[in-house]
Structure 1
Amino acid sequence: MSEPATINPRIVESLYCEGLVLSDEVRDAFSFSGRLDKVGEEEDLARVALSCEGLRTTTRMMHAVAWLLNHRAYFMGELSEFQLRRHGRLAPDRSESDPEQLALLSPETRELVRATQRFYQRLVRLDRGWRQRDAGAPSAISALRERLERRVNG
């Protein structure tokens, strides 16, 4: 098995820039201006599909950018590692797309949804690897107990 992923400021900055570009593309793709003037049942279904996928995709990207911002804050010294580990966890992407709804979207929009899913999965793998990196290290409580024992017995 390969070594767990490490995260460094350069990787976070690169992913942050990529995430912002992807977020702008998502905003543009799911903007409703000029799309609500059509009428008919098929157009209604397409609007519902666009709304649902838009919500899923923008939520996915908001979580991704928030995770990246937390890591930027950590590397800038604004968050401790304890704070980052406690509050900076990236949840698995649970927002599965409905294939029937995806089929109603344009090919470009479907590809954008897939691109955000791939981006998010990359972040999940990085987060998991970073958290597993020190999984064998003693917890803060264990470290404190050891220090107390050394003082008492030492």
Structure 2
Amino acid sequence: MSEPVAINPRIIEALYSEALVLSDEVRGAFTLSGRLERASLDEDLTRVALSSEGLRTTTRMMHAIAWLLNHRAYFLGEISQLQLRRHGRLAPDMRRSEPEQLALLDPKIVELVQTTRCFYDRLLRLDSNWRLSDHSQPSALERLRERLERRLAS
């Protein structure tokens, strides 16, 4: 088994670009899908499925982008590793889709939803490996900088 990939600025930038493209696709799919192209037995159920899946998928991507922005800020020196560890967490329990609702949606939308889930799962694995790989305490210099920042902020 290969060693987990360490998170670095290049990986974060590539993932951030991918997240932006994917988020734009999500926005477009759920905006354009306001008109139901497939007639179903119960159009109201389909509208509910579309709305709830649109909300889940959009939320999933916004969490992913927030996580990536925190890592970008860390690599740019805008936040410390301690701040990143405290506030740069992904929610591991993002609500999954209900199969009955997905069955009502257009296959292209279902595929997009699955793509966002796979993307989010990749970020979860990266985050988990990163948190497990570095149990070290912040350096003395970083602790001093944090104390100075708190004093200056008061």
Q: Which residue of 2 aligns with 1:134?
A: 134
Q: CA deviation at 1:58?
A: 0.3
* Counterparts of 2:34 and 2:125, CA distance in 1: 38
2:60 maps to what in 1? 60
Measured after TM superposition, the shift of residue 22 of structure 1 is: 0.3
| Alignment partner, residue 149 of structure 1 | none
Contact 2:49 2:102 in 1 (8 A): yes
> Partners in 1 of 2:20 and 2:76 — Cα distance?
19
Taking a change above 3 Å as real, the CA distance of residues 131 and 34 of structure 1, as seen in their structure-2 partners, is: closer
Is 1:43 matched with 2:49?
Answer: no
Q: TM-score, normalised by structure 2?
A: 0.82
In structure 2, do the counterparts of structure 1 residues 33 and 133 end up closer, same or farther at CA, with 3 Å as the change threshold? closer
The alignment-based identity, stated in percent, is 68
Q: Are 1:93 and 1:120, in contact at CA under 8 Å, matched by a contact in 2?
A: no
CA contact (8 A) 1:74 1:81 kept: yes
Alignment of 1:25-104 (within 5 A): 25-31=25-31, 35=35, 42-104=42-104
Task: Sort the Cα spacing of 1:63 and 1:103 in 2 relative to 1 into closer, same or farther, 3 A.
Answer: same
Larger Rg over CA atoms: 1
> 1:43 Cα deviation (Å)?
1.4
> What is the RMSD computed on CA atoms of the aligned residues?
2.5
One-letter amino acid of the structure 2 residue matched with residue 76 of structure 1 = L
Following the alignment from structure 1 to structure 2, what is the Cα–Cα distance between the partners of residues 106 and 23?
18
TM-score under structure 1 normalisation?
0.82
Q: CA deviation at 1:94?
A: 2.5
Q: Output the amino acid matched with 1:17.
A: S
- Give structure 2 stretches of 5+ with no counterpart: 144-154
